[in-house]
């Protein structure tokens, strides 16, 4: 139960985002931006939380009449996340989002690229900022004559992966991929005339090979780093909490007491998130060591 609580905190906690919402509601825009800058650096944020951070930051700039800054904020989001939806804010904020998007991506922009994948598999990354793609298809040929199309399922991160049809020795599998919409090809990776080739030699078999253990070790290293950072933050939080208590007992400044107490709560909360992240990464590393 304790382990599950740690993981839940790690996956959902972004205390700076919570504070920024409150500051925006009370029209403390400069303070809200400061919290949102911290919120952007929280590595455990979900995709929706990251989108909200940028939307709130743009709203804070717009509230002060700085629409160029709001537009630049949206541009930063859209470079990393082209499929981010437009905000449901005032017209001027929606307009800043639209301007940022149009400057980055022409209205007919679609991109299909290949990502690293094990031997015998293909991985694709789609950029479709205007949502015009209806299907991504993998087209294969094992007879050097006809290509057969196979639709691929896209994940929320706009990626797709599939195993290629195993080729016979001396008879390669040729393939290419297309992003389709409005009854036409919007982007392609290879073509029927210039396809990619997947082949094996005589007497050999298709295999993914033995993968390096670098990835499990990297995950384990991140787990150790997250645990150390979490522990350090919790110790700092407890220290600040003790300092606030001593200051209150000695009749110290109420403002300083509140500052120490607020910092302590934030440090402990983020520390727990670090501990939860370390636990999740540790479990992942253990699984990878077994499976790799």
Decide if 104 contacts 78 (C-beta within 8 A): yes
Per residue in 258-276, pLDDT (tens digit) is 776 777 678 667 766 767 7
Pairing of strands 184-189, 148-152: unpaired
What band does 247 get if pLDDT is binned at 50, 70 and 90? low
Per residue in 12-61, pLDDT (tens digit) is 457 888 888 888 888 998 998 998 988 888 888 888 999 999 999 999 99
Task: Give the global pTM.
Answer: 0.59
Per residue in 138-170, pLDDT (tens digit) is 999 988 779 999 999 998 889 999 999 988 777
What does residue 268 show for φ and ψ, rounded to 5 degrees? -70, -40
How far apart are the C-alpha atoms of 175 and 128, rounded to whole Å?
A: 22
Q: What is the 3-state secondary structure (H, E, C) of 104-166?
A: HCCCCCCEEEEECCCCCEEEEEEECCCCCCCEEEEEEECCCCCCEEEEECCCCCCEEEEECCC
């Amino acid at each position: 139960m304790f382990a599950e609580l740690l993981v839940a905190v790690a996956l959902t906690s972004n205390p700076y985002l919570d504070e920024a919402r409150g500051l925006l509601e009370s029209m403390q825009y400069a303070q809200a931006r400061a919290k949102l800058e911290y919120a952007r650096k929280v590595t455990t944020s979900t995709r929706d939380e990251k989108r909200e951070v940028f939307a709130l930051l743009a709203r804070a700039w717009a509230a002060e009449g700085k629409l160029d800054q709001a537009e630049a904020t949206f541009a930063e989001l859209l470079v990393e996340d082209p499929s981010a939806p437009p905000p449901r804010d005032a017209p001027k904020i929606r307009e800043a989002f639209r301007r940022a998007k149009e400057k980055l991506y022409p209205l007919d922009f679609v991109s299909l690229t290949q990502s690293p994948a094990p031997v015998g598999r293909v991985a694709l990354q789609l950029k479709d900022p205007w949502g015009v793609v209806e299907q991504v298809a993998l087209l294969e040929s094992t007879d050097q004559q006809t290509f057969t199309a196979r639709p691929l399922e896209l994940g929320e991160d706009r990626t797709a992966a599939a195993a290629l049809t195993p080729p016979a020795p001396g008879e390669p599998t040729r393939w290419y991929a297309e992003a389709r919409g409005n009854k036409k090809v919007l982007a392609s990776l290879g073509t029927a005339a210039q396809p990619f080739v997947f082949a094996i030699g005589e007497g050999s078999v298709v295999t993914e090979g033995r993968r390096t253990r670098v990835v499990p070790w990297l995950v384990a290293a991140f787990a150790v780093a997250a645990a150390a950072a979490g522990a350090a933050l919790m110790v700092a939080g407890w220290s600040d909490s003790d300092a606030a208590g001593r200051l209150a007992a000695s009749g110290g400044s109420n403002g300083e007491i509140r500052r120490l107490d607020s910092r302590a709560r934030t440090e402990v909360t983020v520390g727990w998130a670090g501990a939860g992240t370390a636990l999740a990464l540790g479990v992942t590393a253990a699984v990878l060591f077994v499976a790799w």
